[in-house]
Amino acid sequence: SNIVAIVGRPNVGKSTLFNRLLERREAIVDSTAGVTRDRHYGKSDWNGVDFTVIDTGGYEVNTEDIFQEEISKQVQLAIDEATSIIFMLNVEEGLTDTDSEMYEMLRRSNKPTYIVVNKVDSAKEELAATEFYQLGIEKYYTMSSATGSGTGELLDDIVKDFPTTEYKDPFEGLPKITIAGRPNVGKSTLTNALLDVERNIVTDIAGTTRDSIETLYNKFGHEFVLVDTAGMRRKAKVKEDLEFYSVMRSVRSIEHSDVVIIMVDATQGWESQDMNIFGIAQKNRKGIVILVNKWDLVEKETNTMRDFENAIKTKIGQFTDVPILFISALTKQRILKAVDVAMEVYNNRAKKIKTSKLNEVMLPIFENTPPPALKGKYIKIKYCVQLPTPSPQFVFFCNLPQYVKEPYKRFTENQLRKEFGFSGVPIEVYFRQK
Binding site for GTP: which residues?
A: 8-15, 55-59, 118-121, 181-188, 228-232, 293-296
DSSP-assigned states of every residue in 137-159: -S--EE--TTT--SHHHHHHHHH
Least distance (Å) between residue 46 CB and ligand GDP: 35
Does residue 334 belong to the site contacting ligand GDP (CB under 6 A)?
A: no
Q: Among 5, 8, 16, which residue's Cα sits nearest to residue 96? A: 8
**Quick check: 96 binds ligand GDP (CB under 6 A)?**
no
| 386 lines the binding site for ligand GDP (CB under 6 A) | no
Contact segment (CB under 6 A) with ligand GDP among 109-117, 118-126, 253-261, 324-332 equals 324-332
**Which is nearer to ligand GDP, 33 or 260 (by Cβ)?**
260
Smallest separation (angstroms) from ligand GDP to the CB of 184: 4
- Looking at the DSSP bridge assignments, the partners of residue 432 are 397
Nearer to ligand GDP, 83 or 229 (CB): 229
Angle, CA of 63, 39 and 95, to the nearest 5°: 40
- For residues 27-58, one letter each, b for 16 or more C-beta atoms within 10 angstroms of the residue's C-beta and e for the rest, the string is eeeeeebbbeebebbbbbebeeeebbbbbbbb
Residue 390 near residue 364 (C-beta atoms within 8 A): no
x-or-dash string of contact with ligand GDP, 215-254, rule CB under 6 A: ----------------------------------------
Rg (CA), the chain: 24
**How far apart (Å, rounded) are the C-alpha atoms in residues 322 and 345?**
9
Given 63, 184, 209, 399, the residue binding ligand GDP (CB under 6 A): 184
**# residues contacting ligand GDP (CB under 6 A):** 15
297 is a contact residue toward ligand GDP (CB under 6 A): yes
Residue 176 Cβ vs ligand GDP, minimum distance, rounded to whole Å = 19
Residues 420 and 397: their CA atoms lie apart, in Å, by 19
Sheet holding 381-386, edge to edge: 381-386, 393-398, 428-433
Shortest spacing between CB 327 and ligand GDP, in angstroms:
7
Q: Least distance to ligand GDP from the beta carbon of 76, Å?
A: 20
Contact window for ligand GDP (CB under 6 A) among 90-98, 123-131, 328-336, 352-360: 328-336
User: Measuring CA to CA, which residue among 393, 388, 394 is closest to residue 366?
Assistant: 394
Q: Between β-strands 2-7 and 41-46, what pairing exists: parallel, antiparallel or unpaired? A: unpaired
Q: Which residues bind ligand GDP (CB under 6 A)?
A: 181, 183-189, 293-294, 296-297, 328-330
